[in-house]
Amino acid sequence: MYSRSRSPRGQLPDSYLAAIWRLYGGYMAAIWRLFGGYLAAVWQLCGGSLAAVWRLCVGYRTARNRTGRNRTGRNRTVRNRTVRNRTAENRTAQNRTVWNRTAQNRTAPNRTVRNRTAQNRTAQNRTVRNRTAQNRTAQNRTVRNRTVRNRTARNRTVRNRTARNRTVRNRTARNRTVRNRTARNRTVRNRTAQNRTARNRTVRNRTAQNRTAQNRTVRNRTAQNRTAQNRTVRNRTVRNRTARNRTARNRTARNRTARNRTGSVSVQLL
């Protein structure tokens, strides 16, 4: 299996190279077959989906054509019905016009006969009315005379009543004027009372405002006095602090001079 010939250092024998080449070729063949199988499956899937879509579109178009044909058939039936209805309406209209013409022809002779009878009746009625009018005028004259007499009597009584009513109205007018005067006096009194109360309220409000203003001025003054006192106290404390600091500084200066003196004395002694 293996050749016993020693290969140079760093190289494989020929049997190992052949085995590796066969293994690589087997892997490539398997990959190519797998890739071909995947391509065939994808192609079949795309073809099936395209066929399904084509069938769906064709079915949708056929369905639309069928609905369009049904609509045109319905429209034709509707048009036929409207034509029939129009012809029926025209026939009825023609029949109506014929009936109206015959009715008008019949009414014309009847109108002439009626007019003649009406004229005769009006002539008779006029003669009767004239006779009754003459009788009524005679009766009316007698009635008017009686009514004139009655009116004069009524007018006299009415005049007496109006005179009485005028006196009563004058009395009521006087009473009303007296009541109006008393009402006016009451309203004037009420107005004066309201004005007085309003004036008192304004005076009270003014006094209250003045009191508040005075209190505000007093408060402001006390606040100003307090601030002035606080300032003086602060100034005093500041002055005391500065005085203390000065005394402390003076003491330190004295101590320094004392130390200097003692140092000079010690130096002289040495």
- Give the gyration radius of the chain's Cα atoms: 71
Query: Cβ–Cβ contacts within 10 Å for residue 9, how many?
Result: 5
Helices vs. strands in the chain: H and E counts, helices first: 1, 0
Q: What is the pLDDT of residue 263?
A: 78
For the entire predicted model, the pTM comes to 0.23
Query: pLDDT for 127-151, tens place per residue?
Result: 888 888 888 888 888 888 888 889 8
Q: What is the pLDDT of residue 215?
A: 93
Q: What is the pLDDT of residue 180?
A: 93
Parts of the chain with a pLDDT under 50: 1-4
Query: pLDDT for 70-91, tens place per residue?
Result: 888 888 888 888 888 888 888 8
Q: What is the pLDDT of residue 265?
A: 72
Helix, strand, coil distribution of the chain in percent, nearest 5: 95, 0, 5
Q: Could you tell me which residues come within 8 angstroms of residue 13 by beta carbon, excluding any fewer than 6 positions away? A: 2, 3, 5, 7
Q: What is the pLDDT of residue 1?
A: 42
Q: What is the pLDDT of residue 2?
A: 44
Q: What is the pLDDT of residue 175?
A: 92
Q: Could you tell me which residues come within 8 angstroms of residue 2 by beta carbon, excluding any fewer than 6 positions away? A: 13, 15
